[in-house]
Amino acid sequence: MGAVVETEGLTKTYGRKSRGIENVDLTVEEGEVFGFLGPNGAGKTTTIRTLLNFLRPTSGRAWILGLDTRRESVRIRAGVGNLPGEFTLEDRMTGEKLLRFFARMRGERDLGYAHELVERLGADLHRPMRRLSRGNKQKIGLVQAMFHKPPLLILDEPTGGLDPLVREEFLDVIEEVRSEGRTVFYSSHVLSEVERVCDRVGIIRDGKLVDVEPTRALVNKAFRHVVLTFDAPVDPRPFRAIPGVQALKADGPRLSFTLHEEPDALVKLAAQHRLVGMEYERPSLEEVFLTYYGEGEDGGGG
Amino acid sequence: MSSVGMRRRHREKRRHAAKGRTPGGALFALITHTARMQFRSVIVWGLSLGLYSAAIVATFTTMDAGQMDRIADGLPEGMREAFSLTDLSTIEGLLDVRVFGFIFPLALTFFPILALSGAIAGAEERGTIDVLLGNPVRRWQLVVGNFVATAVSLLGILAISGLSTWATALLEDVDLTLGRTAGAFLNLWPFCLFFGGIAILCSAIFHRRSLAIAVPGFLLVGSYLIDVIGKVSEDLEGLRDYSIFSYYGSAIKDGIDWTDFGGITSCTFVLVLLTVFAFQRRDIYT
């Protein structure tokens, strides 16, 4: 296996406030699904647009499929399927015509896989784009990114607008892409999706790549919001003493807190009382960022 | 970078390069796609301007040519020169005043201006350029593809308008030859594309479609006014050298001046080259 995406000190600054990305060093290995995470404005889209040579790097270099992104971007794009974050197409054209246009651009004659994807995702190819909902447009976008079976998929917020069933089907497709040995660069801010399909995650914040780690490590880092409701008020002190319990608030029979460790001790203690309600919620990725990667000013372009 | 990393990269590069061949038909696909997108506009523009031109031809038979010339003779010489009111008794003279010297160059020029201002800045504003350039298409191909498609579409508009005009002349038994009609309409082609060239250059420079429309629009009207002023005032006649209208001439009366035709075409070619140069060197924003 080798590097499919590699950057060295990749920097792109623009605007008066020098927004963008700074010294991004990143390696995505062949055959992995790499999650690229960050809050809105962290620099995810700027990184992708710089990789695709839509934006010229201020400094640093990048390679995709072993090719220099500045000098050989056309050959790179022949081997990349790209779904932009803000996917928009010509309003008057139908998905079918657009797919045929993209196929001609790529010299691709076989649309068999395209139609398989259309069927699986439930995309409507026969109505003009202007008459499609956001989710249906997104399905066309996913098909156009994947239909030519590129060695690398770059997907920026790919599930935006999709309903839960279609999202599940799409994530199945991504797992199939991985099983075929192809690579996916998956930019998202939806933690559950990333947890489901990504092997590793890179975390970008304020334009800087702050961490790269296996997905499991990130998920384990994430605390949980817990609300326990008993049939009568309970003494909160034993709960407060459980390792990992923080910010505990007692309100009559209701205890709310955050749990930063495994729930085993908590469940055992709660079982000593009559429990009438339990909420156990994963925090949003934004909260994870604020907790583990600190607060700061807004960064890059998206 | 380590030597191991370099070797690995080169190995990868060779392996993937075979898959990453650029399809040779990308430019052709782009041209046909853009031309298809413009097809409806071609019909609308062609029929609208063709009907206007045909109406002028149709009314010619009902006009008293002598009276028209007498009215024109009553106007100051400068004004007659400025608006080419020197020969209203012939169909060529009438078309020169009502069609080829005013409405067509000022109105039809906005077809390539609108089309080519949208090629880059418009695609950025609509957000479609990321999807388009996500394909293996070079930036120069995007510029040239849009320009060629618009040039072909413009030719289509001129053909529809020209045929409408000539067919009306034929039906109304007006003495207007096909060759002279075709020459007059063909003479509009480089003229309109010149402003389209300015539009696509502005589209590549400014990132804003409104500017890419406003700049060539302003230059078009300004050029027309300079030409008119140059005709009215002998003292300011030299100004006409700076107006494209003086090189556009009057093909319906005098035939195409191929030197000027080639000169305007060459200038347009330079504008397209400058656009490619500008677009290659700038960021793309959506």
Bridge-partner residues for B186, per DSSP? Answer: none
Spatial CA neighbour of A146 closest among A104, A168, A176? A176
Contact assignment for A49 to B130 by CB distance below 8 Å = yes
Q: What is the mean pLDDT of chain A?
A: 89
User: Any idea what DSSP says for residue B108?
Assistant: I
- The structural domains of chain B, with segments of one domain joined by +, span 23-280
- How far apart are the CA of B113 and the nearest CA of chain A, in angstroms? 19
Q: Are strands A275-281 and A224-230 parallel, antiparallel or unpaired?
A: antiparallel
The reply to whether B19 touches chain A by the CB within 8 Å rule is yes
Answer whether residue A299 shows pLDDT above 50: no
**Residues A107, A65 contacting (CB under 8 angstroms):** no
pLDDT at B9: 52
CB-based contact, A70 to chain B, within 8 Å: no
pLDDT along chain B (286 residues), means of 10: 48 46 74 94 96 92 70 68 69 88 93 96 91 93 96 98 95 90 96 97 94 97 92 83 90 92 97 96 89
Q: What is the model's pLDDT at position B78?
A: 67
CA closest to A83 among chain B residues: B131
B11 in contact with A, Cβ within 8 Å = yes
How confident is the model over A79-97, as pLDDT tens digits? 999 999 888 888 888 999 9
Q: Chain B contact for A277, CB < 8 A?
A: no
Q: How far apart are CA A20 and CA B64, in angstroms?
A: 71
Give the residue-averaged pLDDT of A190-204: 88
**Per-residue pLDDT, B191:** 97
**Runs of H (alpha helix) within chain A:** 44-51, 73-78, 95-106, 112-121, 134-146, 164-179, 191-197, 215-221, 237-240, 264-270, 285-292
Partnered with residue A229 across adjacent β-strands are A254, A277
Nearest-Cα distance to chain A for B196, in Å, is 21
At A301 the pLDDT is 42
Is residue A191 scored above 80 in pLDDT?
A: no
- Report the residue of chain B nearest A62, measured CA to CA: B9
pLDDT for residue B64: 67
Torsion sign, CA atoms B38, B44, B47, B50 = negative
Answer whether A105 sits within 8 Å of B136, measured CB to CB. yes
Residues, chain B = 286
The pLDDT score that the predictor gives to residue A281 is 86
Mean pLDDT of A144-164: 94
Residues A144, B246: Cα–Cα separation, whole Å: 49
pLDDT top residue among A185 and A222: A185
The whole-number pLDDT of residue A298 equals: 42
Interchain pair B13, A67: CB under 8 A? yes
Residue A49 tokens read as 């647009």
Q: What is the DSSP-derived secondary structure letter of residue B236?
A: T
Average pLDDT over residues A136-150: 95
Mean pLDDT, residues A188-197 taken together: 84
Closest CA to B70 of B88, B56, B83, B84: B88
Residue B23 per-residue DSSP state: P
Residue with tokens 């008293």: B64
Check A54 against B23: CB less than 8 A apart. Answer: no
Confidence of residue A260 (pLDDT cuts 50, 70, 90): confident
- Residue A180's pLDDT is 95
* Candidates B11, B127, B137; nearest CB to A86: B127
| Closest partner CB to A77 (pick from B5, B136, B284) | B136
Q: What is the pLDDT of residue A293?
A: 66
What does the alpha-carbon distance between residue B129 and residue B286 come to, in Å, rounded to a whole number?
Answer: 8
CA neighbor of A123 nearest in space, from A108, A102, A138: A138
CA–CA separation, A62 and A67 (whole Å) = 8
Q: Retrieve residue A285's tokens.
A: 């990725």
B280 and chain A: CB distance < 8 Å anywhere? no
B178 near B63, Cβ under 8 Å? no
ipTM reported for the complex, 2 dp: 0.81
Count CA atoms within 13 Å of residue B263 on its CB side. Answer: 11
Nearest to A141 by CA among B30, B125, B131, B286: B131
